[in-house]
Amino acid sequence: MKKVREKTAKKRSKEEEEEEEEQIFNFKDKPAGKEEEDEDLSDSEESVFSGLEDSGSDSEEDEKESDDNDDEDDDDVTAVESKQPKQTEEEEEKEEVVGGVTEREEEEKKEDEYEHDSSDEEDIRNTVGNIPMEWYKDFPHIGYNLDGKKIFKPIRNKDELDDFLDKMENPDYWRTVHDKQTGSDIVLSDEQVELVNRLQKGQFGDVNFNEYQPSVEFFSSDVMIHPVTNRPADKRSFIPSLIEKEKVSKLVHAIKMGWIKPRRVEDDTRGRFYDLWAGEDSSILGRHKMHLPAPKIPLPGHQESYNPPPEYLFTEEELALWEQQDASDRKLPFVPVKFSSLRQVPAFSRFIHERFERCLDLYLCPRQRKMRVNVNPEDLIPKLPKPKDLQPFPTTQSLVYRGHSGLVRSISVSPSGQWLASGSDDGSVRFWEVCSSRCMKTVQVGGAVKRPVCLSTCRPHSYVASSCECGRAVHQVAWHAKGDYLASVMPDHSSHLQVLIHQLSRRRSQNPFRKNKGLVQCVSFHPVRPYFFVATQRSVRIYNLVKQEMTKKLQANSKWISSMAVHPGGDHVICGSYDCRLSWFDLDLSTKPYKMLRHHKKAVRGAAYHRSYPLFASASDDGSVIVCHGTVYNDLMQNPLIVPVKVLRGHVITHDLGVLDVTFHPTQPWVFSSGADATIRLFT
């Protein structure tokens, strides 16, 4: 380890030596450089003084000042001071040599002089340069002087206490500065302190310098007689530039080739109008035929006036209603207001809104041509033959038959037209004389239990068949035209024994149907031919009794058939239904009704044809009997003419039931009706 240390020490010493040598060399070099610099300097200074010789006094003052400055700078600056006199000497020597030098050169030289006159180089006694002095902490010296000799640290044994004492005792302590490079303390002179103060305040170091000298405006707005410089104009100022020429030719080429477009002329025609429709060629495209012009805005009414008639103003209720309503439901989009004079009318706040909405309508609303039905309502009413021309038909109520205590379910007139039989819910059958409206006979059929009684009168024999409660309710009885047969209906969902045909002469009953085909509502024999009509809920079946087969099935287009009547000719059938309709079937035409008559407001309960007159009647729960004229023509091509001729009212609606049955007089154009109010009425 020791060896190594020694070696390192040796090495270090060697290195130090080398360094020293180098430094020496450097030093040797340096002076040479210095000399050169000095020469330069000398040149400059010589020139300075040579130029200023003529003026004389100023330069001398300058010199003195500079000398003064040097004196002020430092006491220690000896080398420089010693150098300066030398320089002056040299200057003086060379003055004669260089005489005629231009002013400009002088200026340049002056600048040079200032370059070297920086304060950093003033006090170079320690040549180590600007390094942290801690590096020399462990050495006895702190650097090297100009001659390469070590500058030893001044022997200082000042510790903190000494320092403090010095601070307390020495009156110049505050102006003492420690120079790290030389390790010496420097006491600043008064001038130096003042200089520091001035610099600290941001003032110029030189006391005599006036910073607010009046400035001479060199480049002013005034046109001077003489030019600023006397320099002759450049050649390039009167010779066309080649570069520019090249550029221009490039642009010209570009324009020629169409790469550059000339600047557009401001379009004058844009705001200009002309006669657009001058050559009015009526070239109407297909588009124009299809075009639907937007509907115009509806014109304002009295309500919109600023001073409307008082009746158009809103009352409070109307205003409240208006405010409650949604904007789309309102009849008027604004509230009518009255102003007493024109000057009080304010701006309409929704004006822009309304215009905007109109715009939206114009381009967003789908347009459609809607056919507006513009008909006179009178024209819609069909032209019918006048009822007057279709007389006779019953017009007024002439007789009322009273006596029953329950609903009169069914009535029937004798073929002679003298007698009327009625069956009622009170369980009795009454016989009336038609003309006198007298009850001739009362037969109690139902016994104690009041049950509906149905009856029907046979034409040739004046038999009355009445049905009542016998196990099950018989709904209806119907006679054959010859009077030998009698059909009865007992509606029942389950059995096939709904319809029974009884033969009077043999006193025998038979069941014509093997199968149950729905709830049978009513039955009827064909007046001439061996046909049998069975009305179920929604359809009417026609059976041929001879062939024993179904010939036709009529679709009534109604929910529930209530009654049925066959025209005495046998080719037409009417069906009343509980959904207020009366359907007229033409058997020759189709199985669908030829006409649906929706005259009644409530369920139709009864329907009947007149035997000889072209009349038919329907009775309904709304308490009315409607008599219609229904001419049937023998000509097959001509459709029947159906005209309602009279609405007969008279029955009182009781328990929501009106007229229950209706029958025509066999010879007269009279009609009987029985109602829920326990009366029978005759209309003649």
Restricting to residues 343-362, name those near other proteins by CB under 8 A.
343, 345-349, 351-356, 358-360, 362
172 binds other proteins (CB under 8 A): no
Which is closer to other proteins, CB of 225 or CB of 265? 265
Which is closer to other proteins, CB of 296 or CB of 515? 296
Name the segment binding other proteins (CB under 8 A); options: 370-378, 453-461, 480-488, 544-552.
370-378
**Crossing angle of helices 79-95 and 57-73, rounded to 10°:** 160
275 binds other proteins (CB under 8 A): yes
CB of 353 to other proteins, least distance (A): 6
User: Of residues 318-337, which lie at the interface with other proteins (CB under 8 A)?
Assistant: 334, 336-337
User: Of residues 224-263, which lie at the interface with other proteins (CB under 8 A)?
Assistant: 263
Which is closer to other proteins, CB of 9 or CB of 362? 362
Taking CB under 8 A as the criterion, the residue among 293, 327, 371, 508 binding other proteins is 293
Give the three-state DSSP class for 399: strand
545 CB-contact burial (10 Å; exposed 0-12 / middle 13-18 / buried 19+): middle
Output the 3-class SS for 451-516.
CCCEEEECCCCCCEEEECCECECCCEEEECCCCCEEEEECCCCCCCCCEEEEECCCCEEECCCCCC
Taking CB under 8 A as the criterion, the residue among 119, 210, 221, 341 binding other proteins is 341
Taking CB under 8 A as the criterion, the residue among 11, 167, 291, 496 binding other proteins is 291
Per-residue x/- marks for other proteins, 463-492, CB under 8 A? ------------------------------
Which is closer to other proteins, CB of 127 or CB of 397? 397
559 binds other proteins (CB under 8 A): no
Taking CB under 8 A as the criterion, the residue among 268, 280, 317, 635 binding other proteins is 280
What is the C-alpha R_g of the chain? 71
Which is closer to other proteins, CB of 222 or CB of 311? 311
Q: Both tokens of residue 346?
A: 């304010």
Which is closer to other proteins, CB of 248 or CB of 345? 345
Any idea of the CA torsion for 431, 437, 439, 443, to the nearest 10 degrees? Answer: 20
The 8-class DSSP code of residue 301 comes to: -
Taking CB under 8 A as the criterion, the residue among 301, 447, 460, 530 binding other proteins is 301
For residue 413, give the H/E element and its range. strand 408-413
300 binds other proteins (CB under 8 A): yes
Q: Both tokens of residue 434?
A: 């038609």
Taking CB under 8 A as the criterion, the residue among 373, 448, 449, 546 binding other proteins is 373
Which is closer to other proteins, CB of 75 or CB of 357? 357
Output the 3-class SS for 594-633.
CEEECCCCCCEEEEEECCCCCEEEEEECCCEEEEEEEECC
Which is closer to other proteins, CB of 226 or CB of 331? 331
267 binds other proteins (CB under 8 A): yes
User: Of residues 629-648, which lie at the interface with other proteins (CB under 8 A)?
Assistant: 642-647
Distance CA 531, CA 570 (A): 9
243 vs 89, 240, 248, 256, 257, CA distance in Å? Answer: 56, 9, 9, 20, 21
Name the segment binding other proteins (CB under 8 A); options: 364-372, 526-534, 546-554, 604-612.
364-372
296 binds other proteins (CB under 8 A): yes
Q: Both tokens of residue 345?
A: 């009318």
Which is closer to other proteins, CB of 401 or CB of 543? 401
CB of 291 to other proteins, least distance (A): 8
304 binds other proteins (CB under 8 A): yes
Distance CA 465, CA 421 (A): 10
DSSP-assigned beta bridge partners for residue 456: 465
Phi (first) and psi of residue 356, to 5 degrees: -65, -40
Kindly write down the DSSP assignment for every residue of 216-279, as one continuous string: PPSS-SSPPSS-S--PPPPGGGTS--HHHHHHHHHHHHHHHHTSSPPPPPP-GGGS----TTSS
User: Of residues 387-406, which lie at the interface with other proteins (CB under 8 A)?
Assistant: 387-388, 400, 402
Taking CB under 8 A as the criterion, the residue among 176, 189, 203, 307 binding other proteins is 307
Q: Is the peptide bond before 392 cis (omega within 30 degrees of 0)?
A: yes
How would you classify residue 237: left for phi > 0, otherwise alpha for psi between -120 and 50, otherwise beta?
alpha
- Reported as half-sphere exposure (CB side, CA atoms, 13 A), residue 344 has a value of 7
Q: Both tokens of residue 682?
A: 């005759």
Distance CA 245, CA 250 (A): 9
Number of residues that bind other proteins (CB under 8 A): 90
Taking CB under 8 A as the criterion, the residue among 375, 448, 546, 637 binding other proteins is 375
Taking CB under 8 A as the criterion, the residue among 274, 328, 389, 505 binding other proteins is 274
CB of 385 to other proteins, least distance (A): 10
The 8-class DSSP code of residue 574 comes to: E
**Crossing angle of helices 103-116 and 2-52, rounded to 10°:** 150
439 binds other proteins (CB under 8 A): no
Distance CA 560, CA 522 (A): 12
- Reported as half-sphere exposure (CB side, CA atoms, 13 A), residue 460 has a value of 8
265 binds other proteins (CB under 8 A): no
Which is closer to other proteins, CB of 378 or CB of 588? 378
Distance CA 517, CA 495 (A): 10
Name the segment binding other proteins (CB under 8 A); options: 39-47, 365-373, 513-521, 530-538.
365-373
User: Of residues 109-128, which lie at the interface with other proteins (CB under 8 A)?
Assistant: none
CB of 389 to other proteins, least distance (A): 11
CB of 83 to other proteins, least distance (A): 59
Taking CB under 8 A as the criterion, the residue among 83, 90, 308, 544 binding other proteins is 308
CB of 507 to other proteins, least distance (A): 41
306 binds other proteins (CB under 8 A): yes
Which is closer to other proteins, CB of 401 or CB of 485? 401
Q: With contact defined as beta carbons under 8 Å apart, do 600 and 624 qualify? A: yes
Name the segment binding other proteins (CB under 8 A); options: 28-36, 71-79, 375-383, 414-422.
375-383
Residues in CB range of 184: below 8 A, 6 or more apart: 154, 178
Name the segment binding other proteins (CB under 8 A); options: 55-63, 310-318, 412-420, 470-478.
310-318
User: Of residues 578-607, which lie at the interface with other proteins (CB under 8 A)?
Assistant: 597-599
